[in-house]
A and B are shown apart, each in its own frame.
Chain A
Amino acid sequence: MSTTETIQSACPECDAAITFDRPPLNGQVARCPDCGSELEVTCTNPVRLELAPEVEEDWGE
């Protein structure tokens, strides 16, 4: 699973580059460094990002 290769995708909100230092997994969350949007990986090959869903009532720890 680990690799030194970085993987890039684009923020669906502002098109800023989003870099992963290793292959992301489906459902992984990331934050856009430019616009601050919370993103979710919805496809890993190629990496596709979508805006993460809003917090649901039953979410938590």
Chain B
Amino acid sequence: MHIAMTYTRLRAEERLLLDAFESAGVRVTPIDLRQAVFDPANAGEWAQYDAVVDRSVSLTASLTATRILEGLGIRCINPSAAIRVCSDKLDTTIALIRAGVPTPGVRVGLGAESAIESVEQIGYPAVLKPTVGSWGRLVARVNDRDAAEAIIEHRETLGSVQQGVFYVQEHIDKPGRDIRVFVVGGEAIAAIVRSSGHWVTNTARGATAEGLEVTTELRDLSERSVAAVGADVAAVDLLECPQRGLLVNEINHSMEFRNSIATTGVDIPGRVAAHAVRIAENVRTEQGAIA
């Protein structure tokens, strides 16, 4: 058994994962994607790996590497299709709606006028988000039409082409917190609640986290969400809506968990490594059957 773990920055999470593989007696090789050269027609050195665990902090690097590796027949965790859906808020919304998972209402506009109309349809306050982005970057709550017009004009003028897709989400009047559920191998293994005085309850923006029991409802929603996007490993962010109950907000394909191990008491990297090994074993079995 030989597993590769690809990365672009080796953070605490990646180190914990390497340790988890080593503790399980599994040979693991860390690979800095910035130094890799890919030949889409020849697996070369990559052929020695039974599976590749993608931990790149760069979405572009993740998608590039996993697409090429899958083209070469190498199983990636997560698969490129899951990374693509999770990384794009619109794709995530579509996947959740199709799966019947409750999620905040969304409108999408492709120009300034339709963006304003999207906000008006959602109602104030509304939340404007880039379709691709993380850690709460450029997420804006607009409380009135003046603010909406200002933000939309700024995005149209200063933003990239991608910023011209105006993803407008219903603002959920959550109780100063959101919930994150870690799902590994289709099973919700742990949950935390993230609290903040700021409306963006993201730990990257200073929110604090505590462990939370995985209730039946949390388990059901988070496991269905991750199945909907086809991820092996993911973290599901949920909001508590006073009127509609739990709503799935986002799904993260390359979850951070360093501060959630002690708070939940769950060996998250150990569970991820064990699931990666299961996948790699299945790959070996399938390849053996074909041979």
Contacts and interface: CB of A to CB of B under 8 A. Distances in A.
A59 B7 contact: no
A61 B254 contact: yes
Interface string A19-61: 0000001111100000000001100000000001001111111
Contacts of A60: 57, 59, 87, 133-135, 137, 252, 254
Q: Identify whether the interface residues of A are mostly helix, strand, loop, or mixed.
A: loop
B216 interface: no
Interface in B1-46: 7-11, 15, 18, 22, 30, 32, 34-35
B261 to A, nearest CB: 16
A27 B15 contact: no
Contacts of B32: 26-27
Given A28-B15, A40-B9, A61 B58 contact: no
A9 to B, nearest CB: 15
A58 B254 contact: no
Interface residues of B, number: 29
A20 to B, nearest CB: 11
Contact of A57 (B8, B35, B133, B256): B133
A52 B9 contact: yes
Contacts of A40: 9
B229 to A, nearest CB: 14
Interface in B237-273: 252-256
B235 interface: yes
A57 B270 CA distance: 30
Contacts of B34: 27
A61 B256 contact: yes
Q: Identify whether the interface residues of B are mostly helix, strand, loop, or mixed.
A: mixed
A51 B67 CA distance: 30
Contact of B59 (A28, A41, A52, A58): A58
A61 B135 contact: yes
B122 interface: no
A28 to B, nearest CB: 4
A15 to B, nearest CB: 23
B189 interface: no
Contacts of B256: 61
Contacts of A25: 10, 15, 18, 30
6 contacts: A2-B22, A25-B18, A29-B9, A58-B58, A59-B59, A61-B253
Given A59-B58, A61-B135, 17 more contacts: A1-B18, A1-B22, A26-B32, A27-B8, A27-B9, A27-B32, A27-B34, A29-B10, A55-B135, A58-B132, A59-B135, A60-B57, A60-B87, A60-B133, A60-B137, A61-B252, A61-B255
Interface of B: 7-11, 15, 18, 22, 30, 32, 34-35, 57-60, 87, 132-135, 137, 160, 235, 252-256
Q: Lowest 4 A-B CB distances belong to which pairs?
A: A60-B134, A28-B10, A58-B59, A27-B10
